[in-house]
């Protein structure tokens, strides 16, 4: 059976892509064409494509691609004239199975081959892109695994951590005494506390004392 291909591109670009897909019959068959992801999503029931070819230059945000991926079982192949590798990677991370660069001299034949390979379950990305994408996925996993509170604590400066430790060691000490111990002015201490409360989502010294002991901030250098 021919591979059912649906195109998502502005009319002028779509016209050229339609001629290309039609030239590859009977391997490929044009299932339809829409001018935008939004238009396609409104008429999902009309189409049952195997592969959706999306002209990313016709869509101004990756969010459209992510929504398309979440609402269709078809494999998505992106074409773009952009040289922005971050955009290419973002497209794959958002659900595209491959990216074809329209600037390549053999982009037409490349696109036809990419459609077939993506339909077979392969990814159409180069080795360098694969490395970048796996690194980005690993980074995102680490971020998800980090305790949200540890993420907040990591934003504290060394001086702010010392301030917390000093307050935690003597919660009833007046601000003047704490400032003297840290060799700073009371005004600077208040500034530190304002920043600390903002970063940790706290409102007062009592909350800060409890937070410091719960998260191991009661000692400092």
Ordered structural domains, the chain, with CATH? 3-143 (3.40.50.2300), 149-214 (1.10.10.10)
What is the per-residue pLDDT for 131?
73
Question: How far, CA to CA in Å, does 192 sit from each of 136, 183, 188, 204?
Answer: 34, 13, 6, 13
Residue 161 has pLDDT above 70, yes or no: yes
Banded model confidence at residue 165, pLDDT cuts 50, 70, 90: very high
Q: Which residues contact 172 (CB under 8 A, 6 or more apart)?
A: none
β-strands 51-55, 98-101 pairing? unpaired
Q: At what angle do helices 186-200 and 158-169 cross, to 10 degrees?
A: 100
State pTM to two decimals.
Answer: 0.60
**Residue of 166, 153, 177, 155 whose CA lies nearest to 205:** 166
Tens of pLDDT, residue by residue over 26-50, are: 999 999 999 999 889 888 888 999 9
**Residue of 154, 43, 112 whose CA lies nearest to 98:** 112
Residue 137 has pLDDT above 70, yes or no: no
What is the per-residue pLDDT for 63?
80
- Name the DSSP letter for residue 204: S
CA-based end-to-end distance of the chain? 70
Q: What's the CA gap between 91 and 169, in Å, rounded? A: 51
By CB atoms closer than 10 A (0-12, 13-18, 19+), residue 40 is buried
Banded model confidence at residue 60, pLDDT cuts 50, 70, 90: low
Beta bridge partners of 79: 55, 100
What is the per-residue pLDDT for 118?
93
Strands (E), 89-195: 98-101
Banded model confidence at residue 104, pLDDT cuts 50, 70, 90: confident
Q: What's the CA gap between 53 and 110, in Å, rounded? A: 13
Mean pLDDT of the chain: 87
Q: Which residues contact 74 (CB under 8 A, 6 or more apart)?
A: 6, 49, 50, 51, 52
Q: What's the CA gap between 50 and 118, in Å, rounded? A: 10
* Phi–psi pair at 26, nearest 5 degrees: -95, 5
């Amino acid at each position: 059976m021919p591979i059912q291909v649906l195109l998502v591109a502005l009319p002028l670009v779509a016209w050229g892509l339609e001629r290309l897909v039609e030239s590859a019959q009977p391997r490929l068959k044009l299932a339809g064409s829409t001018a935008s992801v939004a238009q396609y999503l409104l008429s999902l029931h009309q189409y049952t494509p195997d592969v959706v070819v999306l002209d990313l230059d016709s869509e101004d945000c990756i969010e459209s691609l992510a929504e398309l991926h979440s609402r269709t079982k078809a494999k998505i192949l992106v074409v773009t004239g952009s040289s922005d590798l971050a955009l290419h990677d973002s497209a794959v991370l958002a659900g595209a199975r491959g990216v074809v660069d329209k600037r390549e001299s053999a982009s037409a034949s490349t696109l036809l081959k990419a459609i077939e390979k993506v339909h077979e379950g392969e990814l159409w990305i180069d080795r360098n892109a694969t490395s970048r994408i796996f690194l980005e996925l690993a980074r995102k996993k680490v971020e998800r695994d980090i305790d949200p509170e540890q993420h907040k604590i990591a934003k504290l400066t060394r001086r702010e951590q010392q301030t917390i430790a000093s307050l935690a060691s003597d919660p009833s000490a007046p601000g003047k005494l704490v400032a003297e111990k840290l060799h700073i002015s009371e005004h600077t201490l208040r500034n530190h506390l304002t920043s600390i409360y903002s970063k940790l989502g706290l409102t007062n010294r009592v909350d800060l004392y409890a937070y410091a002991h719960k998260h191991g901030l009661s000692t400092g250098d």
